[in-house]
């Protein structure tokens, strides 16, 4: 019997009404391959309904025509303690999303900070206990790591991604324990060879009990998952990761977002965590 606890979470999502792949800004995007918007919406709705069924709170931001990647709300900001650090997208194709996310944070009562540095929100910033893990190499720049540290007043650990398939930190590393007792090691899972040697060494030092997943599971975006501390929403194709989670006492919940993977995003990409001041 697992002693893990499911913690109530609050998320921001965006219905993929305009989803398609009309350009390529990551290795997963092939505009020549057809996409099915209705299928993407149906798969997204399954994820949305799963969160609600687990007792979580889901807020919605309106999708904007002309921005098919807006469904990937994780890139739209980073929120801790009621402070929302807005995004500054690297590629022009997504830059029009930034004002929409910043306006949403302001309208919903967050202490909203407009970034000076290129960053793609929770795509590259993940909270592990009291420490911010920060990805760089493809999207967010190193200067954004200093900026996020100043804004939140927390230690930032920079991790360098080296495999273009895993261009955001949340494609190569998952936070399994969103709430951690002081001094305890946060549960994480990661794909070692997505990182350079220095970053691998740092992860091994800080998280000696982490789950290390196979490339097979990483390549189906198995790590692009969301966890409440007990239930971990993952791709049904990540069979090895599913077994590893069960061995550690987590409850894998399988949700297929294969259509949205055509745009280079999965479960976590569609899920921005909204952490209030009470946390």
Q: Which two tokens stand for residue 68?
A: 């098919």
270 is catalytic: no
Burial 208-232 (b: 16+ CB within 10 A, else e): eebbebeeebbebbbbbbbbbbbbb
CA 139 to chain centre: 14
Beta strand 211-212 pairing with 78-80? unpaired
Contact 264, 29 (CB under 8 A): yes
Name the active-site residue from 14, 56, 145, 269.
269
Cα separation, 96 vs 99, in Å, equals: 7
The candidate with the shortest Cα–Cα distance to 267, out of 238, 235, 240, 244, is 235
Residues 95, 97, 100, 105, CA torsion sign: negative
The residue written with tokens 């993940």 in the block is: 126
14 is catalytic: no
Contact 122, 74 (CB under 8 A): yes
Measured CA distances, 158 to 133, 161, 172 (Å): 6, 10, 14
Name the active-site residue from 14, 56, 145, 168.
168
Residue 208 DSSP one-character state: T
Cα separation, 74 vs 94, in Å, equals: 13
| Catalytic residue annotation | 168, 269
């Amino acid at each position: 019997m697992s002693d893990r606890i499911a913690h109530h979470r609050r998320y921001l999502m965006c219905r993929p009404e305009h989803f398609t792949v009309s350009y390529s800004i990551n290795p997963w995007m092939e505009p020549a391959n057809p996409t099915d918007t209705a299928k993407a919406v149906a798969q997204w709705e399954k994820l949305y309904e799963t969160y609600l069924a687990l007792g979580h709170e889901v807020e919605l931001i309106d999708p904007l025509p002309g921005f098919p990647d807006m469904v990937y709300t994780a890139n739209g900001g980073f929120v801790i303690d009621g402070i929302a650090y807005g995004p500054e997208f690297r590629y022009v194709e997504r830059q029009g999303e930034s004002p929409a996310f910043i306006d949403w944070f302001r309208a919903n009562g967050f202490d909203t900070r407009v970034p000076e540095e290129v960053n793609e929100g929770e795509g590259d910033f993940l909270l592990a206990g009291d420490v911010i893990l920060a990805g760089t190499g493809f999207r967010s720049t190193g200067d954004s790591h200093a900026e996020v540290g100043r804004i939140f007043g927390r230690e930032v650990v920079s991790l360098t991604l080296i495999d273009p398939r895993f261009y955001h930190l949340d494609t190569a590393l998952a936070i399994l324990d969103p709430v951690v007792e002081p001094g305890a090691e946060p549960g994480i899972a990661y794909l070692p060879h997505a990182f350079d040697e220095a970053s691998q060494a740092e992860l091994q030092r800080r998280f000696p009990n982490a789950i290390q997943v196979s490339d097979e599971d990483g390549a189906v975006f198995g790590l692009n998952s969301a966890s409440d501390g007990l239930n971990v929403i993952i791709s049904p194709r990540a069979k090895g990761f599913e077994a590893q989670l069960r061995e550690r006492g987590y409850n894998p919940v399988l949700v297929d977002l294969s259509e949205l993977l055509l745009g280079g995003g999965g479960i976590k990409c569609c899920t921005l965590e909204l952490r209030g001041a009470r946390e």
